[in-house]
Amino acid sequence: MENAVLFFDDFAFVFDGISDCLFAETEGKKAAEGVGISCVRDWNGERIL
């Protein structure tokens, strides 16, 4: 499965298809919660949500 990218106003989530987790800038955490995404990691792979 290829990466899927969801673009928002000033950041993007990248779904890696492996960890069932999205990667996002820290500022994207609230937006992720708003659309029901339950797992978010920053670009370093650290879980932020």
pLDDT in tens, 1-41: 455 666 666 666 666 555 556 555 555 566 666 666 667 67
Indicate the SS3 state at residue 34. Answer: helix
Q: Which amino acid is at 38?
A: S
Domain assignment of residue 47, yes or no: no
Q: Which amino acid is at 30?
A: K
Residue 44: per-residue pLDDT: 72
Structural domain count of the chain: 1
Domain assignment of residue 9, yes or no: yes
Residue 46: per-residue pLDDT: 75
Residue 1: per-residue pLDDT: 42
Residue 31: per-residue pLDDT: 64
Residue numbers of the domain that contains 12 = 4-41
Q: By the 8 A CB rule, do 24 and 11 touch?
A: yes
Closest CA to 15 of 26, 27, 38: 38
Domain assignment of residue 49, yes or no: no
Residue 5: per-residue pLDDT: 62
Domain assignment of residue 15, yes or no: yes
How many helices, marked H, and strands, marked E, lie in the chain?
Answer: 1, 4
Q: By the 8 A CB rule, do 42 and 23 touch?
A: yes
